[in-house]
Amino acid sequence: MRKNENPVSLQSCPKKLKKMIEEKKMPTKNAILLLKHVGYCIALKMIFISSLENPSLCIRIKRMIFEENEKKKEERNENLLTDLYECYLLLDFVFSLELLSICVPRLVKVASSKEKSEDNQKEVETALFTLSCIGKWNDVGKILFLEEINEIIQYNQEHRNLTRLAYQSAWQFLIDRLDNFKSLKEIIANELHFVKEARRELEELLKCVDWKRKKEDGGGKEAKEEFVLLRWLQILDLCFFLCKFWNEEYAGLIDSIARVLRATKENNREICFYCIYSFKLATENKVVKVEDLLNGGAVDAVLEEILQSMLIDKIALSSLKYMNSISERLKDEANDEKGKEERKIMKKKVIEKMEEEGYEDVIVSFHEKLPFLCRNNYHQLSLDISDYFVNI
């Protein structure tokens, strides 16, 4: 939960609105629009509120969806239906296949609109964002419309007609379904060029926020672009975890994430965490070349991060796990004759960097805390300080 959020007010909002609707203090249409906005903010800021403690409201909205759909086509209020679909999918976490078979086709249709007006862009963004919130665990089977989402992504690559959140949401929808639809991997990598697009988006999003001013303002209010940046990093976590091959595009992605880490380290700790967590997952994936992790600036960026005066537990933990993994990878490659001299030079540079930055002192300072972290469900973290030093 972010420090500036008030979960109590968000949690009680649906219940209060339901009461206002029942007492006719607010028109139903206005209440639905307000509820949709609440759901949108909760999902964008990734605040978890279990079922919003008010399942009766979701049941009411679901009933309204079915009632409106039962009307004759010429009598239906299509705009109200779209609002109802988005409101329900943004507020609830468990969807029936019956409901999804009604909502998804309509939202895909809205998302496929190519009209260039500002209002239409917003409607497309909300539709795609809502679709991205369905989640990978829901069995949406044949109604996924993967081909249509592919076309939306391809069209944006040619015309740049989507907002940044809309584009990220379209990718989120596809990436979430990699495990269920194996053919997607080939399409995403070779037809849609996911890695190239992700790197471009990260670098463009970095330009959208005045990071220097945010630092001067003590962090300030988070911009929408920061939430989109965070969502991209979460996608990349899955990408590094599932990656089965490695090429120059992936190596460049490491460098882009290192830049994000450096830009945000003093004013967005959540983004910093996901950057380091991405590095950790990449290091643990054996297809990722350790040379690219070292050359891409990840080690330097993490070393700079753990020297911060204020470091939250999960960032400290991921940093140590990452450095431990780097050390293990270099240890494993120590007996490989091919390129041994080049790696030896690179390892020496890393050691010198660690000594220069006082890395040993940082590890020692964490040593008292490591048993506590391990006792509290932070597993597989070595308590041997020597494991965190790169071996030559």
Q: What domain count does the chain have? A: 1
Instruction: Write down the pLDDT at residue 18.
Output: 61
Within the chain, residue ranges assigned H as helices are 7-22, 28-44, 55-69, 78-91, 97-111, 118-132, 146-159, 164-175, 183-186, 194-208, 211-216, 224-242, 248-264, 269-284, 290-295, 298-306, 313-333, 340-357, 359-367, 370-375
- Domain assignment present for residue 150? The answer is no
- The conformational region for residue 364 under phi > 0 = left, psi -120 to 50 = alpha, else beta, is alpha
CA gap 362, 314 in Å, rounded: 15
Instruction: Write down the pLDDT at residue 151.
Output: 95
Question: Which residues 6+ apart lie within 8 Å of 133 measured at CB?
Answer: 43, 89, 90
Which CA distances in Å does 116 have to 20, 113, 131, 166, 298?
37, 9, 21, 14, 39
- Domain assignment present for residue 133? The answer is no
Q: Which pLDDT tens digits describe the chain residue by residue (392 residues)?
A: 334 444 434 455 556 666 666 666 667 778 888 888 888 888 888 776 554 445 677 778 888 899 898 998 888 899 999 999 999 888 876 677 788 888 888 999 999 999 989 999 999 999 999 999 887 655 554 556 788 999 999 999 999 999 999 999 999 998 888 777 777 778 888 889 999 999 999 999 999 988 877 777 766 678 899 999 999 999 998 888 877 777 777 888 999 999 999 999 888 889 999 999 999 998 888 888 888 887 778 888 888 887 765 666 678 778 888 888 888 887 777 666 556 676 677 667 766 766 676 666 666 665 555 555 555 555 555 656 566 665 54
Query: What CATH number should be reported for the domain holding residue 351?
Result: 1.25.10
- Domain assignment present for residue 218? The answer is yes
Instruction: Write down the pLDDT at residue 6.
Output: 46
Instruction: Write down the pLDDT at residue 258.
Output: 93
Among positive and negative, which fits the CA dihedral 106, 110, 113, 115?
positive
Q: In this structure, are residues 306 and 316 in contact, taking their beta carbons and an 8 Å threshold?
A: yes
Instruction: Write down the pLDDT at residue 278.
Output: 92
- Domain assignment present for residue 83? The answer is no
Query: Within 10 A of 386 (CB to CB), how many other CB atoms are there?
Result: 9
CA gap 235, 336 in Å, rounded: 33
- Domain assignment present for residue 105? The answer is no
- Domain assignment present for residue 239? The answer is yes
- Domain assignment present for residue 186? The answer is no
Instruction: Write down the pLDDT at residue 119.
Output: 93
Domain of 253, in residue numbers = 196-392
DSSP-derived secondary structure for 4-39: T--HHHHHHHHHHHHHHHHTTSS-HHHHHHHHHHHH
- DSSP state, residue 384: -
Instruction: Write down the pLDDT at residue 1.
Output: 32
- Domain assignment present for residue 243? The answer is yes
pTM, two decimal places: 0.82
Instruction: Write down the pLDDT at residue 364.
Output: 63
Instruction: Write down the pLDDT at residue 382.
Output: 62
CA gap 269, 38 in Å, rounded: 24
